[in-house]
Structure 1
Amino acid sequence: MNGNRSYAFPGLTAAIGQMAGLCAGAEAKWLLGGSCGLWLQGVRLDTRPRDIDVYADEGDARLVHERMSEYATDIPRQDRTGSYASLLSHYRFDGVTVELVGGFEVKTDSAFYRTEIAGILDENAPLVRLGGAELRLMPLAHEFVFNVLRARPDRYLAIAEVIRGEADRHLPLLRELLRRNQWTAGIVGKMAEVLDRPLLSGPWGEYGGGQA
């Protein structure tokens, strides 16, 4: 997967390629997510991607930071902002900001969701070639869940459109994320409705918590 997408945003493409080159060979699993990951998977976006979002498990995020430390604008630190918790750090590549998110968790009134890159998301991540480098993208199942939890219909409706077009590819991972995390019946029902998949609603980890 790549097509001619790299020609759309040459500055982003160069920054992603440079970052991927620095991390090549590192004993770490990381995925390109956010608007750049959606763009590269053909999801319709209302605005152009501006920044680069990179996700890793917490230990791997520290390894990725070592590879990119020359371009760091801060050091990795534990961050808790609203519903989100992660090990967070930032970098600049030719004017493009990269945000590295380690051990990302979301806790809301309706769910507790924890990203698991190694062995789960990485195993289902599309491989792309961009700017002369190979890298893997955050699966759309995660992007759908995350954007539902943060109430971004502009994103989750566009993602759902792509998922419905290739349901056999995306739904098995989505069901696995439901099983491995905790949700209220209401939020699972909402996902099922958006995807037009009534049988999505079970089984899943039941959630009885509250806002972090």
Structure 2
Amino acid sequence: MSVRGQIEAALALIAERAKDSGVAWIVGGSAGLMLRGLPLASEPRDLDLYIDDAEFDRLHLLLRPYAVAEPVLSETSMYRSQLCQYEIEGIEVELVGGFVVKAQESVYVTEVAELLLPLSLPVATRHGHIAHVAPLAHELWFNVLRERSDRCELIIEAFAREAAEHLGALEQLEARNALSPALKRQLHDRLAVKAGKAEVSR
């Protein structure tokens, strides 16, 4: 089975176990970008699920039979989150709760139920299940803050092709987080330049 097939199978199983729970969770990271059809340089190595702190334990209990470790609270100078790893359909799955990034004079907080889920992209997996993929605006700021220039360029390209579709999410995300004004200006300038090039190339 291909990596994409394994990820879709894992998502179908997760969606089945969580379907009646009311828990809000989204797919992020390279797996989310793959599900959006972005041309990644290499296949995803794992599947990242984001969830609010308040609902972390509920989803963990549903996935506990697949856990390979106990949940931990991870705090560094840059990141804060609850974490737990699982193995599902041959794929390493990481549940990330209450994720916060502090970098470049900015603080970014993932708010899944209130912000990211309503802005997410529904993607069909298997057996009629739907997985919700994090908005590109989330992936863009996450990678800007951790200075992943290669990933940023890939996301900016995709963002610029359908800027009208993504700008609303970007505005909401920026309004809810303490992001460096200088960093925002730099990012907006890059998006404007890329959007102009995309318009010319059509």
TM-score by length of 2: 0.89
Note the C-alpha offset of 1:76. 2.0
Over 3 Å counting, the alpha-carbon distance change for 1:8 and 1:92 in structure 2 is closer
Equivalent in the alignment of 1:176:
172
1:78 partner amino acid: L
Note the C-alpha offset of 1:145. 0.5
2:51 partner amino acid: A
Residue 92 (str. 1) matches residue 87 (str. 2): yes
Note the C-alpha offset of 1:110. 2.3
Contact 2:11-2:131 within 8 A present in 1 as well: no
User: In structure 2, what is the Cα distance between the partners aligned to 1:36 and 1:184?
Assistant: 28
Map Cα deviations across residues 104-160 of structure 1 (whole Å, 9 max, x no partner): 000013210101111211111111111222111111110000001111111111111
Q: SS of the residue aligned with 2:69?
A: coil
Equivalent in the alignment of 1:53:
48
Contact 1:27-1:63 within 8 A present in 2 as well: no
Note the C-alpha offset of 1:162. 1.2
Residue 69 (str. 1) matches residue 101 (str. 2): no
Q: SS of the residue aligned with 1:147?
A: helix
Contact 2:25-2:132 within 8 A present in 1 as well: yes
Contact 1:73-1:91 within 8 A present in 2 as well: yes
Q: SS of the residue aligned with 2:167?
A: helix
2:145 partner amino acid: L
Residue 139 (str. 1) matches residue 135 (str. 2): yes
1:12 partner amino acid: I
Contact 1:12-1:50 within 8 A present in 2 as well: no
Residue 117 (str. 1) matches residue 112 (str. 2): yes
Residue 196 (str. 1) matches residue 178 (str. 2): no
Map Cα deviations across residues 11-31 of structure 1 (whole Å, 9 max, x no partner): 222222222222211121000
Contact 2:23-2:59 within 8 A present in 1 as well: yes
Superposed, which structure 2 residues align to 1:129-168 within 5 Å?
129-132=124-127, 133-168=129-164
Equivalent in the alignment of 2:5:
10
Equivalent in the alignment of 1:23:
18
Q: Count residues with an aligned counterpart.
A: 193
Query: Structure 2 regions of 5+ residues with no counterpart?
Result: 194-202
Q: SS of the residue aligned with 1:196?
A: helix
Contact 2:104-2:145 within 8 A present in 1 as well: no
Residue 128 (str. 1) matches residue 107 (str. 2): no
**Structure 1 consecutive aligned stretches of length 4 or more whose deviation exceeds 2 Å:** 6-9
Equivalent in the alignment of 1:42:
37
User: In structure 2, what is the Cα distance between the partners aligned to 1:95 and 1:69?
Assistant: 16
Equivalent in the alignment of 1:205:
none
Percentage identity across paired residues of the two chains: 35
Residue 102 (str. 1) matches residue 92 (str. 2): no
Let me know the Cα RMSD of the aligned residues: 1.8
Q: SS of the residue aligned with 2:27?
A: strand
1:63 partner amino acid: R
User: In structure 2, what is the Cα distance between the partners aligned to 1:173 and 1:98?
Assistant: 26
Over 3 Å counting, the alpha-carbon distance change for 1:120 and 1:10 in structure 2 is same
